[in-house]
């Protein structure tokens, strides 16, 4: 996001010095990611080392760190473990925020740089390893489990009255309302179809595996040495494998929507049977979640500053040709 979390840079620097023994010479805000409750920074230290520092609102992010530790200990090299504090803790809390520190790896994400054929194969192999890992009961008890909740569908339906009412708000809210009115039938179809599929799946028994839950191009880091890393394990879930596989060929940010990329991924992933009903549900539900999140943020509040324009652009991008809406409604 373009707007920083409300925490002073001095407090961040003091925390890094006290709890990580990192002597900061430069702290640079990075306008990355779509998480409205997080900010990230690049830290350059006196010893010429560099760090990627994530600041998240709240203090309940330990399960994602535990999952990263599990995967790294299992020998998955495409996972970046956090730098521990001087007290051997993977996170540090200050005020209302959690600080997580990683080594800084120069590179680009999968939104900015396409994966090579070899990287697609590697990505497939690594995600298969993730899905096949034996998750200890102690971690399973803490990781959320798929329940096909109606939460996001109900939120979008609550926005229908705002779409139909006399338009109010700032320029971005007015533009979004106009766009949503033009696409009312599509939005209704997405919500209704997601609900139909959820009802089917609630009566089925599916194998649950460990899933990243948000494994789009923005969460694949391609290092300058061409190594790929899966990052941002903040919200793992025990769910059918299609929870992750829906991103392959799904068109988030209008990338990863080419058949040859999908073929390469599955060549690396290996033989598997895809449940198309589950895949369809996740592609529809992901769009509904984004409509709900962006709709609430832009129509029901005036907060967000520069992030408001960014969120509005993300919303419109979903409806572009070969984007997520096009792919979800065309294929299913």
**pLDDT tens-digit map of 114-135:** 999 999 999 999 999 999 999 9
β-bridge partners, 97: 57, 94
DSSP state of 143: S
Angle between helices 259-269 and 117-132 (to 10 degrees): 50
Name the E strands within 58-194: 92-94, 97-103, 107-109, 144-145
Within 10 A of 323 (CB to CB), how many other CB atoms are there? 20
Q: What pLDDT, in 10s, does the model give residues 215-231?
A: 999 999 999 999 999 99
The CATH fold of domain 144-207+274-331 = Methane Monooxygenase Hydroxylase; Chain G, domain 1 (1.20.58)
Closest CA to 102 of 120, 81, 123, 126: 81
Across 23-27, average pLDDT: 96
- Domains of the chain by residue range: 1-104, 144-207+274-331
Please state the φ and ψ torsions of residue 10, each to the nearest 5 degrees: -60, -40
- Distance, in Å, from the CA atom of 286 to the CA atom of 292, rounded to the nearest integer, reads 10
Q: In the CATH scheme, what architecture does the domain 1-104 have?
A: 2-Layer Sandwich (3.30)
Using alpha carbons, list the distances in angstroms from residue 176 to 110, 189, 198, 294, 328: 27, 18, 28, 10, 21
pLDDT at 332: 67
Sheet containing strand 220-223, edge to edge, reads 107-109, 220-223, 228-230
Q: Which of 4-8, 25-29, 31-35 is least confident?
A: 31-35
Query: What three-state secondary structure class fits 303?
Result: coil
Give the separation between CA 283 and CA 285, rounded to whole angstroms. Answer: 6
pLDDT tens digits for range 248-282? 999 999 999 999 999 999 999 999 999 999 999 99
Q: In what helix (H) or strand (E) does residue 147 lie, and over which residues does it extend?
A: none
Burial of 90-120, coded b for 16+ CB within 10 Å and e otherwise, reads bbbebeebbbbbbebbebebbbeeebeeebb
Q: pTM for the whole thing?
A: 0.92
Average pLDDT of the residues in 84-109:
94
pLDDT tens column, 155-209: 999 999 988 888 888 999 999 999 999 999 999 999 999 999 999 999 999 999 9
Please, which residues bridge with residue 38 across strands?
56
């Amino acid at each position: 996001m373009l707007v920083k979390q409300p925490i002073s840079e001095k407090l961040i620097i003091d925390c890094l010095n006290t709890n990580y023994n990192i002597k900061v010479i430069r702290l640079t805000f990075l306008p990355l990611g779509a998480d409205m409750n997080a900010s990230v920074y690049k830290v350059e230290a006196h010893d010429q080392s560099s760090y990627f520092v994530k600041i998240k609102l709240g203090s309940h992010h330990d399960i994602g760190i535990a999952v990263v530790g599990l995967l790294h200990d299992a020998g998955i090299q495409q996972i970046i473990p956090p730098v521990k504090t001087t007290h051997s803790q993977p996170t540090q809390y200050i005020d209302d925020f959690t600080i997580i520190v990683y080594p800084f790896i120069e590179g680009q994400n999968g939104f900015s740089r396409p994966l090579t054929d070899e990287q697609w194969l590697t990505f497939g192999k690594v995600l298969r390893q993730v899905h096949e890992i034996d998750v200890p009961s102690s971690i399973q008890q803490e990781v959320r489990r798929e329940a096909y909740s109606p939460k996001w569908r109900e939120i979008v339906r609550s926005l229908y009255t705002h779409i139909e009412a006399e338009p109010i708000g700032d320029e971005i809210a007015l533009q979004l309302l106009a766009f949503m009115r033009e696409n009312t039938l599509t939005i209704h179809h997405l919500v209704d179809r997601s609900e139909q599929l959820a009802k089917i799946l609630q009566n089925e028994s599916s194998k649950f595996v460990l899933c990243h839950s948000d494994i789009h191009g923005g969460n694949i880091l391609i290092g300058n040495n061409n190594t790929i890393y899966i990052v941002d394990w903040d919200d793992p879930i025990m769910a059918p494998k299609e929870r992750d596989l829906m991103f392959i060929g799904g068109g988030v940010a209008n990338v990863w929507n080419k058949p040859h990329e999908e073929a390469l991924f599955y060549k690396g992933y290996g033989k598997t049977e895809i449940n198309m009903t589950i895949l369809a549900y996740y592609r529809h539900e992901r769009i509904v979640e984004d409509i709900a999140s962006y709709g609430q943020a832009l129509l029901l509040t005036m907060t967000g500053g520069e992030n408001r324009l960014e969120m509005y652009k993300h919303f419109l991008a979903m409806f572009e040709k070969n984007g997520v809406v096009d792919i979800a409604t065309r294929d299913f």
